[in-house]
Each structure stands twice: as structure tokens, then as C-alpha cells.
Structure 1
Amino acid sequence: MTPKLDKKETVFRNQYIFACDAKAVNLDNTLINLFMLMRNNGAKIKLKLRSTHHTIDELVNRVFVQEQLGNIHGVKENMDAVKAWLRSNLTNMVFRGNMVKENVSSLRPMHIEAYRIRNMKYIRDYNSSDQVYLMLSKQPNVLKSLKQYLSLGWDEGSRQIINNKQLDVDTVGILHLIGGIEVDMRVATSISRIRPLLEEQADLFCDDIRRLLIYKEVIPRSVFIDYLKTLIGFHLSLYFQKLIHLLPKMIEAGTRNIEDDWSIVVDVTDNLSSNISEIACKDMERTLNGLSAYIKATMEVNAVMMRPEYLAGDFDSIDKMLSEIKNRTEKFEAYYESKYADILARFSDDEESTATEYRKQLNDYLKYEKSYFDRYVQCVFMLKGNYQYRYSHDFIDKVSMKNQENAFMADGRSRKHPRRAVIGSGLLEVLVQLLVLEPENDTYQSKPLSIEELIGKIRTRYGIIIDGTNEERFKNTDVQTHLAFKENKEAFKNKLRQIGFYNDLSDAYILQKIRPRY
């Protein structure tokens, strides 16, 4: 028999640490909910609709109404084509192709107003959009610029489509669909405006978005949205992996101002049995093995946040809490002695002797903990830790876009090929587009890069190791490790050739450059 936790003790998510729930996140859902937050300045709103469930047939009727208003022509004569267009180009669906379970989840995230048509049952993002919005809010000018681009073609005042050459036919179709849907701001709730715990990581994300916006005039809107989704997934994965590594260190140091020494080796060979795969798998295993320490560290912060003096909550209190965990006072310990006694008192059974036996077993299990605070946290960890550990793997897999074209993680079907960090072709294309840009007079200019320069930028900027021969931790390794990194570097060149960024047509080293597309 296990003791029961109260409602506050069962809550793991802490927006001061990481706003997402550990769940299998759909990045399209993240984008749709992010657009809602951006459009309404952080507010989560409801819509004025008689029916809250959208279907393809209902969307076809909306298109037909637009034809009657004179905004669209040829709908009545081509109903099958319109239906196919809605299904394939304009909507996200769950259980696509399953005639029994198939349902519309939302419109595709092509415009900031796309959130107006969504089925709440299928659009959950487990607060991942909250985390992205908090990171974007770190630099309001970047958030404003992204919002302006995503709002192109729609005038909220007149609720009319504005002619804009940048809008493709799919985006215009989405704007026609949402034309008659109104927002009820009276029921709005807003997310808290707080600074992300890893402020430098949030600044890096904002800088990547700023660089992406440089391309807004030259790449198609659909490509821009795909790049945006890839960046969001990539940075959520980076942020979470760094938290796993750094939060326990913050607890130990008693401050969040610690060195960011996180790094990870990536396998870019697309071969699950490559020489570099063993090194990459060990690096990812090290990260995932740190999950237990991260979960326990989060529970320690949560335990301190329950104290009366921290109930109001503000970001600066994080520093006080970390310091208090490291430098505990008698008053601090007395509070958790009381909390631990409350847990013991929650054992209930028809026979008091049985409840007493359960209490004894729990005390025996926790007797090696040094303090009542440690006992209390370990008790909560014992009851809730396994759940968080299991679903944290699902979260990392999803935001890392595992085994997809734009993947930051890959694995095989058997235990022989465990998880390892990779750079998929789609992700590499996005990173190269961003890294060929150099700051120049308050803007950016694209410039050619050598292979070594690109590898160095990826290492310095993101902590991602492609060629580790110059890394301190691989300084005294064997020849096989050096050969593995050499193979990885050659595979990196081949991948750049495949996506059209690298053509070594000359033996002259100076001519072997990564050429910007724009």
C-alpha cells in the first residue's frame, strides 16, 4: 500500500522551470496553439460557435457560402475537388485514412488566424506552445516581427482579406474559411509572463527566428512555416536536454548562474551501425540517464514553492529557492518534517496495525535520507517519478522529430540500435540557411562558409559535435574514435551535397565552400 498525495503534490509541471508537460507532443498542434497566444497577446481564448466540432462536410459548406458571397467561383461545379483540397492541403487530421476514427483536428498552421477552426479534443499540445511563447517573449521585437509576417493578408478591423502577393492559394483558402468566426475575449485566460530559466537558450531561439525572418521575402510561405516548425521542435529538444543536464547542477550549486557545458555527438551517416553510432548512442544514453536526477530536482523546487512565502511566485524567487535548498535552516527542515508527517498520516486501513506496518516500511525505505526535506522529496519521487520518466522519453522523441526527414534523433526497430542524436536533411537545411547569415549593419548578409567553419558554428552555437577530434573529452582517445569522426565528417559533406549546398568541383581547398542560396 502506498500513501496518497494531495492535489498540489501530484503536480509536476513548473512553468518557472519548463512549461511543457511530459507527453507525446504534436508539433502542428504546438504551432496552432502558439498562433492563438501570439494573436491574443498570451491569452487562451474561446470561440463564438454554435457547434464546437468541425468536419470536412462543414468546411465544404463554408466554402460554398463564400461562393454565394462572390468571394470564390467554381465551387458548385467542382465539389469533389474542393473536398479533396480541404482534406489534403488545408486541414490537419487525426487517424487520417481511417473511415471510422478520422477527424479534423485543425486547419494547417499557415496563418496566425488558423487557430479559429480547431477541435479542442484533438488539438492538445500539453502546454508546449506556452514554453515556445515564453521563449519568444524574451525578445519582444522578434515576437512582434514574427506575428506581423504570420498576419499578412488579413485585416482584423474590417475582417477582410487584403491583397498580398506573398499569400499562396492555400493560405487564402484558410482565410476564407475563418471569415465568419468571432473570438470571445471575455473568457480569455492568460499565461504568466515570466523569463525562461535558461535565458541564453531562449535568446538563441529568438536569434534563430530573427535570422529565419530574413528569408520571409524570398522563400514560399509553406517552406517558411515548415522551417519554423522544424526550429521549434529542435529548440524544444535542445532546451529540455540542457535542462536535464543543468538543473541538478543548479540545485547542487544553489544558483542558476552556472556554466553551460552541455554537448552531444551527432551521427550524420544515416547508418545505424556506423563507427560513430556507438559514441553518439553513449552520449544520448548519458542524457536520458540524467532524467531521474532532473525529475527529482524539479520535485525539490516544487516542494520549496509550496511554502507560504513563495505562493505569490515570481521569477527572481527561483534564485532564493535554489539557495535555500543548498543552505537549509532549522525552520526549513521543520516545515518538511511536518509535510512528511502528513504523508505518513494518510495511510488508512481497517486495521490500524496494518497501517502502522506500512508506515514502518516507508520509514525503513527512507531512513538513509539525510533530512526530512530529502525524505519528503524522495517519497513524492517514489510515487510519481516513474510516470514522468516514462513520458519524458515520449516528449523527447516527438519534439526531436525522431526518424523523420528533419530529425534531431533516430533509432532502430531493435535494442541493437538505441536512440542517438542525428541531423536529418531537413534540419540541416534549416541550420545551414541560418548559419550562412552574418550580422552586418543591423541586418544580415549571406556569406560562403567552409566545412570547418560550419562545423565550428554548429558546435559553438548549439553544442552539437560532428567532428570531435579537437574536443577535450576526446583528446586521448584511440585511432578508431578518430576514424569514426573522420567518417562522420565525410558523411556530413555528402549530406550537404544532397541538399544542394556543397559542390567541391575543384581540388583547390579555397573553392570548396558552402554556397548560400539567397
Structure 2
Amino acid sequence: MASKTSHKEFMYHRLLRVGAKTLNKERLLINLLPKLKHKGASPVTIGGKKVEDFESLYEHVFAESASFDGFEEHSAIVKKWLKDAAVDVLHRGKGNKEKFVSMRPLTLNAYKASNRKYREDYGISEQVYSMMLAADLELDNTGRKITEELKAYLSEGYDPDSDRVRTDDLELLETVVAMVVNPLGIDKADLRKTVNPHAPLCIGQARVLSADLMGLLAYKDAIPKSALLKAMVQMMYLHTGLFILRLGPLLQDLVERRELHPGCRSCPVQGDSDRGFHECPFQIKLQMDLGLGYASNLAKLSAKSVEHHERQIIQYIENHFYVRNLAEFFEKNRFVDENGYSVLDLFRELSDHENYMQDVHFSKRLDSFMEEMDEENDFLSLKVEGVPYIQSYVQLINKQYNGYYFHYFKQLMSSLFAKNEADGIMAQSGGYKKYLLGNELLDTLVHLVSIQPVEGGGYRTRRVRAEEFLTWMRRRYGFYIAESVFDAEEPELLQALRYNKSLFLSMLQDIGYYQPISDAYYTQWLIPRYEVDEVKGH
């Protein structure tokens, strides 16, 4: 981190790697591919042609038209099909504004055919990769690692020696993507640009994300690749959003204690456990309203749940400023190894350097900030006698910039929770917000609850009751559907929760997972759509 930084500077990858921006789901996987391929390193391309726009794409496809009967004769139809099915497009449907972003991420090398200018993902792929890597690093050599398993899934037909993909047994779309990228040159890992493997503050979220992705991969022979990858991106976004919500109270506790919470030192959360975050000291609770509109009592409670999390984000921004400035001080003075330290190391070393930090470094930072502010007198009131300089400085920059970053964090959370989309958990109309559960995400969650690891390796589908599914979602993701987040037992609320549960069961029925026989508990079974019996060694 540079020693001379703007007071407004915010990014600090040891806390959060994704930027507070509006994200696009299409960009995550295409940027994740080279990280999987090169173990976190960025690629350096050696020779070959480039595909960065529609013209060069069509040129490559029709150069291989002999491999596809009818492509040459029906070029206009083929171009439309390519744009609709095989390509990520910026400003899709807006005529001349449409820009080629990349080929669909259906093969390991798909990122080679992309326009780097338009495929920016604002760090979400690095955030996801670092969480997967953190979970992998806990495993011994016998454990199945999600970065390796996901790479293998995307490497069908891939030959590492030639850096090309064999197309013999691929589906049509995968074949087209492979034939476009195969002539584009070989790339190597640039080890100077590698994702730093420092673990996230919440290792439990990393474990559960990796377990969910591994569970979805168990369906690789049953679900089409494009659909399975879409489900994986849903979960990557969801877990990143939940990680940010959990990071808020976790970081607040760390700043107050100056050490990790006792309940986090040996994290009780295990990815494959049905108990999820049940023993976590920083549980996330989302009150979900599955009904229409925003006027019902439950919708208002759900809105209250959203507001609670937004207040925690406001507090997180201030604590983020505090930790980032601590880190800048420690790095500038070489009190920590710039590449190898963790956030916890800052607090372990804090007492040894606190006097110098207060009297020299942050007194200068405070003076510098005051000189830059036009409305200096308004800020002078925040400097209280006896308050450490770092606290005064952080209070000042937080007062100036918190609103700015909170605005963009709301955009980020809307993206991660897929606001107003079928695979999301958030809805908004005007100034009203609430948590809900989209049909497409529910479909993915049923796949996950219906799969379980078996002893010796592998996965097998299982039958789960609807009530067990509700408990599983509450413990794993903090989704409160048939129960209240708030301590209230009014008859109207209990009736609303029963109605919410009936809506949930209707959703399951609508997407084909549930057939009510009676109201009896023992008859309320979910019906898995696919059967998996993948046992290693058999």
C-alpha cells in the first residue's frame, strides 16, 4: 500500500476484495477462469490473434465453418445465434451501443476471447477465488479442493501442453467457444500478479461457499453445464453478500476487543454440516416476506431487517477506514511483512507501537486532512481532548465520506442479492425494500439440501422434509421464512408467518419439488429432480 494516499482511499483487500460497485453476474466466471487455470496468477499471452469485438469473432467462426454444416449458407442466422447464445454482450438489445465482452465461460480458455475494457468485474472473482482458496488450504492432501474440482469441470477436452481444447466430445456451444479461442495463442502464469492467499476474517463463510459449490458439482452429469454454472454464480454472489453482512458485526467486535472473538478462534462452522452457522457468534438473520407488495406487517418487518443490515454497513465503513489506516501505518513503518501479515496481526502489534502511531503519524494525518477541508471549523468540533488522534482522524474522514461509500455499498448489495430478479433475495419498489426468495434461487437451494457427502468421498441425493428444509436454510443462510427474526408473538404476526410458510410450500409445488398429500408432518417430503449416487472408490 502506498504511503501517500488520499484520505478518501478505501480499498483494502485483507478485509474485502470486491469494490462497492454495481456488478454484472456475467463477468464473474470469465474473470475467475484464468485464476483457476493459473492458481491465482494473472495470464500473460504469448503470440496468437485476438478476439475483442464482433467482427473478429465472426471472422474466427466462419474460418472454421467447414466444421459446421450450414454455417456459411446461413451466416445472418448464425451471427444472431452466436450473439444470443455464445457471447456476453454489454448494452444487449441497444442496437449500435452493443459491445462484445467475451465468449460464454464454458471452457477453461474462454477468457482469451474477451475485451478487457468491458469485462471488468470490480474484484468479485478475486473475492470468490480467495474464499475458495482459504477453504482449500485447510484441507490435507486427501481432501477434495473446490478450486481443483471446478477447474477440472471446466477443463473438459483441455490439453495443458498445447493450451488448446479438443472438441471431439463437447456440446455445440462449448465446441464453438473452443474453436474461437484455440487459435488465440498460449498464455502463461504471471507469478508477479497473484491473488494473495490471506484468509478472510470469516473462514466459516468460505467453508460453506466451497461446500455448496462442491455439492452443485455433484450434479455435473445431470444438469447442463450452462445451467449448473449459472447456479454456481448465484451461490457465489449470495455468499459474498452474506460475508459482507457478517463482516460488519465481526469487525466491530474485533475493533473493540483488539482480538478475534473467542467463538471465532476455532470456528464452529463446517461446510458439510446441516447446522450451518447455528453456533456462529455473528449470525445473519434475514426476515423474508414471500407475499406481494410492501404494506403487510411481515413486509414491514422484512424492511426493518434490511434497515438493520444497512445500519451495520454504515458502521462497517467506519471500521474499515480504521483498519485500513492502521494497516497503512504498519506497512509504511515496516512493522509488519507487507505481503505476509493478516488483519489480526495489526491488533496483536498495536500496543507495541501505539504511542508513536498516535503522537506522530496520525497527528500529521489529522493536520493534513484539516488543511484540505474548506469547512474546517465544522470538523474541529470532532477533535475532543483526550481522544486518540487515530479515532479523531477516522471520525473526520468517516463523517466526510461514509455517505459516499454507503451509496455504492447499497448498489453492491443489490447486485449480490440480485434485487428484483428471480434468483435473488431482495426486492425494491420505490423507497420500499424487503427480503424474499426468488424461484430460481429456491430451485438451486433444493438441489443443495437434497445432496449430501458420503463416507469415503462422493455424494448421494437424499429425501428431506419441507420443515427440515426451512431449518436448513435458516441455519445455513439466515433465511427466516416461517419464524420471526424479532422477539414478537402477536397473533397477527404468527398468522402472517403461517401464511408465509404456505406461500413457500406453494412455491415448491410450482417448481415441481413438493406434492402435498396432507397437512401431516410425515408426508411433507421434497421430491429431488435428479438422483445422484457418486461414491468414490466404487
Q: Tell me the CA shift for residue 290 of structure 1.
A: 1.7
Residue of structure 1 in register with 2:322 after alignment: 300
TM-score (norm 2): 0.86
Partners of 1:410 and 1:422 within 8 A in 2:
yes
Q: Which moved more, 1:184-193 or 1:301-310?
A: 184-193
Partners of 2:48 and 2:184 within 8 A in 1:
no
Q: Tell me the CA shift for residue 134 of structure 1.
A: 0.2
In structure 1, how many angstroms separate the alpha carbons of the residues matched to 2:237 and 2:359?
Answer: 43
Q: Tell me the CA shift for residue 163 of structure 1.
A: 5.2
Residue of structure 2 in register with 1:283 after alignment: 305
Q: Tell me the CA shift for residue 97 of structure 1.
A: 2.1
Residue of structure 2 in register with 1:199 after alignment: 203
Find the partner of 1:343 among 355, 358, 368: 368
Q: Note if 1:19 corresponds to 2:36.
A: no
Residue of structure 2 in register with 1:407 after alignment: 424
In structure 2, how many angstroms separate the alpha carbons of the residues matched to 1:220 and 1:369?
Answer: 63
Q: Tell me the CA shift for residue 461 of structure 1.
A: 1.4
Distance change >3 Å, CA 163–CA 95, structure 1 → 2: closer
Q: Tell me the CA shift for residue 436 of structure 1.
A: 1.5
Q: Which moved more, 1:291-300 or 1:321-330?
A: 321-330
Partners of 2:62 and 2:71 within 8 A in 1:
yes
Residue of structure 1 in register with 2:463 after alignment: 448
Please give the per-residue CA displacement for 1:31-82, whole angstroms capped at 9, x wherever unaligned: 1101121112112224457886722222111011113xx5334322121121
Q: Note if 1:467 corresponds to 2:463.
A: no
Find the partner of 1:172 among 150, 166, 175: 175
In structure 2, how many angstroms separate the alpha carbons of the residues matched to 1:458 and 1:510?
Answer: 19
Residue of structure 2 in register with 1:482 after alignment: 494
Q: Tell me the CA shift for residue 443 of structure 1.
A: 2.7
Partners of 2:453 and 2:459 within 8 A in 1:
yes
Map 1:182-261 → 2, pairs under 5 A: 182-185=185-188, 189-257=193-261, 258=263, 259-261=281-283
Distance change >3 Å, CA 483–CA 148, structure 1 → 2: same
Distance change >3 Å, CA 464–CA 107, structure 1 → 2: same
Q: Tell me the CA shift for residue 422 of structure 1.
A: 1.5
Q: Secondary structure at the match of 1:366?
A: coil
Q: Secondary structure at the match of 1:420?
A: strand
Q: Which moved more, 1:374-383 or 1:23-32?
A: 374-383
Partners of 1:34 and 1:133 within 8 A in 2:
yes
TM-score (norm 1): 0.89
Partners of 1:451 and 1:513 within 8 A in 2:
yes
Partners of 2:382 and 2:395 within 8 A in 1:
no
In structure 1, how many angstroms separate the alpha carbons of the residues matched to 2:204 and 2:187?
Answer: 36
Partners of 1:16 and 1:315 within 8 A in 2:
no
Partners of 2:240 and 2:416 within 8 A in 1:
yes
Q: Which moved more, 1:6-15 or 1:188-197?
A: 6-15
Find the partner of 1:61 among 56, 59, 62: 59
Residue of structure 2 in register with 1:383 after alignment: 400
Q: Tell me the CA shift for residue 437 of structure 1.
A: 1.8
Q: Note if 1:181 corresponds to 2:184.
A: yes
Q: Secondary structure at the match of 1:306?
A: helix
Please give the per-residue CA displacement for 1:329-351, whole angstroms capped at 9, x wherever unaligned: 43342234433354157449xxx
Q: Secondary structure at the match of 1:122?
A: coil
Residue of structure 2 in register with 1:108 after alignment: 104
Distance change >3 Å, CA 311–CA 123, structure 1 → 2: farther
Residue of structure 2 in register with 1:131 after alignment: 127
Q: Tell me the CA shift for residue 127 of structure 1.
A: 0.8
Task: Let me know the Cα RMSD of the aligned residues.
Answer: 2.6
Map 1:117-128 → 2, pairs under 5 A: 117-128=113-124
Q: Tell me the CA shift for residue 284 of structure 1.
A: 0.7
Residue of structure 2 in register with 1:492 after alignment: 504
Letter paired with 2:288: V
In structure 1, how many angstroms separate the alpha carbons of the residues matched to 2:171 and 2:187?
Answer: 29
In structure 2, how many angstroms separate the alpha carbons of the residues matched to 1:160 and 1:324?
Answer: 49
Partners of 2:452 and 2:461 within 8 A in 1:
yes
In structure 1, how many angstroms separate the alpha carbons of the residues matched to 2:366 and 2:79?
Answer: 62
In structure 2, how many angstroms separate the alpha carbons of the residues matched to 1:369 and 1:126?
Answer: 40
Partners of 1:252 and 1:326 within 8 A in 2:
no
Residue of structure 1 in register with 2:383 after alignment: 366
In structure 1, how many angstroms separate the alpha carbons of the residues matched to 2:8 and 2:186?
Answer: 34
Q: Tell me the CA shift for residue 466 of structure 1.
A: 1.2
Distance change >3 Å, CA 91–CA 368, structure 1 → 2: farther
In structure 1, how many angstroms separate the alpha carbons of the residues matched to 2:340 and 2:300?
Answer: 40
In structure 2, how many angstroms separate the alpha carbons of the residues matched to 1:8 and 1:256?
Answer: 29
Map 1:151-162 → 2, pairs under 5 A: 151-162=155-166
Q: Secondary structure at the match of 2:74?
A: helix
Q: Tell me the CA shift for residue 160 of structure 1.
A: 4.6
Residue of structure 1 in register with 2:413 after alignment: 396
Q: Note if 1:269 corresponds to 2:269.
A: no
Q: Tell me the CA shift for residue 382 of structure 1.
A: 3.0
Residue of structure 2 in register with 1:334 after alignment: 359
Please give the per-residue CA displacement for 1:421-449, whole angstroms capped at 9, x wherever unaligned: 22100111111110112332133221111
In structure 2, how many angstroms separate the alpha carbons of the residues matched to 1:267 and 1:13?
Answer: 34
In structure 1, how many angstroms separate the alpha carbons of the residues matched to 2:410 and 2:385?
Answer: 29
Q: Tell me the CA shift for residue 241 of structure 1.
A: 1.5
Partners of 1:295 and 1:389 within 8 A in 2:
yes
Partners of 2:294 and 2:300 within 8 A in 1:
no
Partners of 1:113 and 1:175 within 8 A in 2:
yes
Please give the per-residue CA displacement for 1:307-360, whole angstroms capped at 9, x wherever unaligned: 224553366542232356699843342234433354157449xxxxxx8xx655
Where does the alignment leave 5 or more consecutive residues of structure 2 unmatched?
Answer: 137-144, 264-280, 531-538
Q: Tell me the CA shift for residue 485 of structure 1.
A: 1.1
Partners of 1:60 and 1:83 within 8 A in 2:
yes
Residue of structure 2 in register with 1:352 after alignment: none
Q: Secondary structure at the match of 2:174?
A: helix
Distance change >3 Å, CA 468–CA 174, structure 1 → 2: same
Residue of structure 1 in register with 2:36 after alignment: 38
Find the partner of 1:312 among 337, 361, 365: 337
In structure 2, how many angstroms separate the alpha carbons of the residues matched to 1:44 and 1:422?
Answer: 38
In structure 1, how many angstroms separate the alpha carbons of the residues matched to 2:254 and 2:403?
Answer: 23
Q: Tell me the CA shift for residue 238 of structure 1.
A: 1.1
Please give the per-residue CA displacement for 1:83-120, whole angstroms capped at 9, x wherever unaligned: 01211111111111222311111112222211111111
Partners of 1:32 and 1:114 within 8 A in 2:
yes
In structure 2, how many angstroms separate the alpha carbons of the residues matched to 1:402 and 1:119?
Answer: 27
Letter paired with 1:381: N
Distance change >3 Å, CA 149–CA 127, structure 1 → 2: same
